[in-house]
């Protein structure tokens, strides 16, 4: 008999990565990660997936293998493997027709995902070195010395000095390297480089042309990082990096050469410097003339993950629209993007010569799986999660439209629990997304899974309030300077809508959210007592205190001003300046290593609630950051989350 899915079940499911398609499109290689909860760790294994769904393991289950990269002739596979506990990822190469993998690198801080040169003779890859220690051996010596050093102080004058859970001020800077496919001739292609290639993931920031030129994006400015603007650079063999568009817009990213090397595609954002959800425009440069053509200037959506078709006639990319993510194609000469496959949620397109596109597919009720898009249809050909999902009743999901703030139509997904009785109002749980410029798409979520939240019998509302992405730049920007205004009215309107329809029990309702979603929880409990319980995870509670965050750029637009120009506007939308009405029982969760929303934000809210005599509970993770990622911590987190709801809403 089918049963609801549990947090333990989430950790039993395989987590499938983006497919790396073979040059002829006949198969793809994918990294699949499984977890051992007792050991509190996961390991990746590489598999070949054929078009008919047949799978073949390529690497051993005993070593962590990730980041597959197929050679131009499709006969060899490069990937990253870690050796032993605490080992750094090193580049390995193996033949697909059999034989052992050979380790090519021994780098002190490891390597990132490689790409093959067109002749198949070498690989290009990012790898970190320590600033001031410009060679591999100097970095090796310094890294070992730091382990033994008793003094651990970090000193900086940089504006950007830490990021998510890592300190940048300790001097790790990724360089681009090249190494022969036989492991010989390691060469630093960017010696002396002093700025991050990409602070999120340097693996996707570069490409290699058939003639050996390399294009990559990196910070436009070096220390002290007065901005987080990025620029595209080109690096000819034996030369120094040169900015592709020196006087161009402030955000230039993701260069990709056409198959014949004549064109270079990249994205840029131009309208609102410092606004991280600004719309990317996809453009191409003719390498022989330098002429730039903007392909999506008049298209009010944001392309991402673009890949050239094998014949170079156009590009395929993914883009959000109406809380889903679809695949689109656009001609290399320009035109209107054509939707070639509709989500749920499609990412990581890799076009084949026959027009079929390998991609990754997921939905609210389906974890990510390898898929094929062809003829406007999408089929999941991977089956890594099918058997494990079989015992679960995953309920149902409804796409709902209602009237929100200022009379605008607002979209939300409503997740119903297994066995839901539409004639009987159910306890309502709002799950409020972060960002704020993000979206609750029709996509699977490992950390905030609405199916798990619904499993005790709750109806879960996923509201895409004003400020959410996938409805254009104007809709995303309209909450700037007034974070608590339109989204509050949207969430309250969603609650009213669900009560009026008889779906929600008005006496058993809760609000939950993380990051900006946590901000909304803290804001709402200061302005209404209609919710019986609240959960604030990593929530922004004091806007001025967010100047301790890792990224302080753009705060004046988000908060409505700078503190030295007067605090009134900032305090007007700061939850901890509106505490007199706070009375809702609140669970506060925070991680010590959260540099995006610093831990004092949660501690401040908890301290205020306890001082007021409001029922509150603090859950603190000393070894986690903004996200709870370790298996055992995650299970504890879900237990606290569901336990708090159960205490105040019942089942």
Please write the tens of the pLDDT for every residue from 554-564: 888 899 889 99
N-term to C-term CA, the chain: 20
* pLDDT (0 to 100) of residue 168: 87
Cα 122 to its chain centre, rounded Å, is 30
Give the Å distances, CA to CA, from 399 to 344, 377, 386, 417, 510.
12, 21, 25, 15, 20
Q: Give dist(CA 93, CA 100) in Å, integer.
A: 9
* pLDDT (0 to 100) of residue 274: 67
CA dihedral sign of residues 395, 400, 405, 409? positive
Q: Give dist(CA 565, CA 554) in Å, integer.
A: 15
| Nearest residue to 179 (alpha-carbon basis) of 139, 124, 120 | 124
* pLDDT (0 to 100) of residue 651: 66
| Nearest residue to 271 (alpha-carbon basis) of 439, 480, 436 | 480
Taking only the tens place, the pLDDT of each residue in 41-51 is 999 999 999 99
What is the per-residue burial (b if ≥16 Cβ within 10 Å, else e) of 179-201? bebeeeeeebbbeebebbbbbee
| Nearest residue to 199 (alpha-carbon basis) of 633, 622, 621, 595 | 595
| Nearest residue to 4 (alpha-carbon basis) of 638, 581, 525, 442 | 638
Edge-to-edge order in the sheet of strand 187-188? 115-116, 122-130, 172-180, 187-188
Helix (H) or strand (E) run with residue 270 in it: none
Domains and CATH numbers, the chain: 395-649 (3.40.50.1820)
Residue 178, token pair as written in the block: 């090249």
Q: Judging by beta carbons within 10 Å of its beta carbon (0-12, 13-18, 19+), is residue 391 exposed, middle or buried? A: exposed
In the chain, which stretches have pLDDT less than 50? none
Cβ-based neighbours of 616, under 8 Å, separated by 6 or more: 585, 586, 587, 588, 606, 609, 610
Q: pTM for the complete prediction?
A: 0.96
* pLDDT (0 to 100) of residue 481: 93
| Whether 637 contacts 607, CB under 8 Å | no
Q: Give dist(CA 55, CA 58) in Å, integer.
A: 9
Cβ-based neighbours of 406, under 8 Å, separated by 6 or more: 486, 489
Is 285 in a helix, a strand, or coil? strand
* pLDDT (0 to 100) of residue 124: 98
Helix (H) or strand (E) run with residue 16 in it: strand 15-16
* pLDDT (0 to 100) of residue 271: 64
């Amino acid at each position: 008999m089918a049963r609801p899915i549990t947090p333990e079940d989430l950790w039993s499911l395989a987590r499938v990565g983006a497919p790396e398609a073979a040059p002829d499109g006949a198969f793809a290689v994918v990294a699949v990660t499984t977890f051992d909860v007792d050991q509190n760790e996961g390991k990746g294994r590489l598999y070949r997936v054929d078009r008919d769904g047949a799978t073949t393991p390529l690497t051993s289950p005993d070593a962590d293998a990730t980041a597959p990269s197929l050679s131009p002739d499709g006969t060899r596979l490069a990937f990253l493997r870690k050796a032993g506990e605490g080992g750094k990822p090193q580049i390995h190469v193996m033949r697909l027709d059999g034989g052992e993998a050979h380790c090519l690198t021994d780098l002190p801080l490891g390597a990132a995902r490689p790409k093959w040169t067109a002749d198949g003779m070498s690989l290009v890859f990012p790898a970190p070195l320590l600033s001031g220690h410009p060679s591999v051996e100097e970095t090796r010596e310094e890294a070992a010395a730091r382990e033994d050093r008793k003094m651990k102080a970090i000193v900086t004058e940089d504006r950007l000095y830490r990021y998510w859970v890592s300190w940048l001020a300790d001097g790790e800077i990724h360089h681009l390297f090249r190494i022969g496919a036989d492991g010989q001739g390691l060469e630093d292609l960017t010696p002396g480089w002093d700025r991050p290639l990409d602070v999120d993931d340097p693996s996707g920031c570069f490409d290699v042309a058939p003639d050996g030129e390399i294009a990559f994006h990196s910070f436009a400015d070096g220390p002290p990082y007065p901005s987080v603007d990025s620029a595209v650079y080109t690096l000819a063999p034996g030369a120094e990096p040169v900015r592709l568009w020196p006087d161009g817009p402030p955000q230039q990213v993701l260069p990709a050469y056409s198959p014949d090397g004549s064109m270079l595609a990249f994205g840029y954002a131009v309208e609102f410097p410092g606004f991280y959800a600004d719309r990317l425009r996809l453009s191409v440069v003719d390498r022989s003339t330098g002429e730039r053509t903007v392909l999506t200037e008049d298209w009010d959506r944001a392309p991402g993950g673009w890949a050239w078709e094998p014949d170079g006639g156009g590009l395929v990319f993914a883009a959000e629209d109406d809380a889903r993510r679809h695949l689109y194609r656009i001609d290399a000469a320009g035109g209107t993007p054509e939707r070639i496959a509709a989500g749920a949620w499609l990412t990581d397109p890799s076009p084949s010569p026959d027009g079929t596109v390998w991609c990754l597919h997921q939905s609210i009720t389906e974890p990510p799986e390898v898929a094929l898009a062809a003829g406007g249809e999408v089929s999941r050909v991977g089956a890594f999660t099918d058997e494990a999902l079989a015992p679960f009743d995953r309920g149902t999901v409804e796409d709902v439209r209602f009237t929100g703030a200022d009379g605008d139509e607002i979209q939300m997904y409503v997740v119903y629990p297994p066995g839901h009785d539409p004639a009987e109002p159910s306890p309502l749980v709002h799950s409020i997304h972060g960002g704020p410029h993000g979206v609750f798409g029709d996509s699977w979520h490992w950390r905030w899974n609405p199916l798990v939240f619904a499993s005790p019998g709750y109806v879960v509302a996923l509201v895409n309030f004003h400020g959410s992405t996938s409805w254009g730049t104007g809709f995303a920007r309209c909450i700037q300077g007034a974070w608590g205004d339109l989204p509050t009215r949207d969430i309250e309107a969603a609650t009213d809508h669900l009560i009026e329809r008889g779906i929600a029990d008005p006496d058993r309702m809760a609000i939950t959210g993380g990051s900006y979603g946590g901000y909304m929880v803290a804001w709402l409990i200061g302005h209404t007592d209609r919710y019986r319980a609240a959960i604030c995870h990593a929530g922004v509670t004091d806007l001025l205190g967010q100047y301790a965050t890792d990224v302080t750029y753009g705060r004046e637009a988000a908060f409505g001003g700078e503190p030295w120009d007067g605090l009134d506007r900032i305090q007007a939308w700061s939850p901890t300046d509106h505490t007199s009405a706070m009375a809702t029982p609140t669970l506060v969760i925070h991680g010590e290593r959260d540099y995006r929303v610093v831990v004092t934000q949660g501690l401040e809210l908890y301290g205020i609630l306890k001082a007021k005599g409001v029922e509150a509970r603090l859950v603190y993770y000393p070894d986690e950051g903004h996200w709870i990622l370790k298996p055992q911590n995650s299970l504890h987190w879900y237990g606290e989350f569901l336990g708090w709801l159960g205490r105040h809403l019942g089942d």
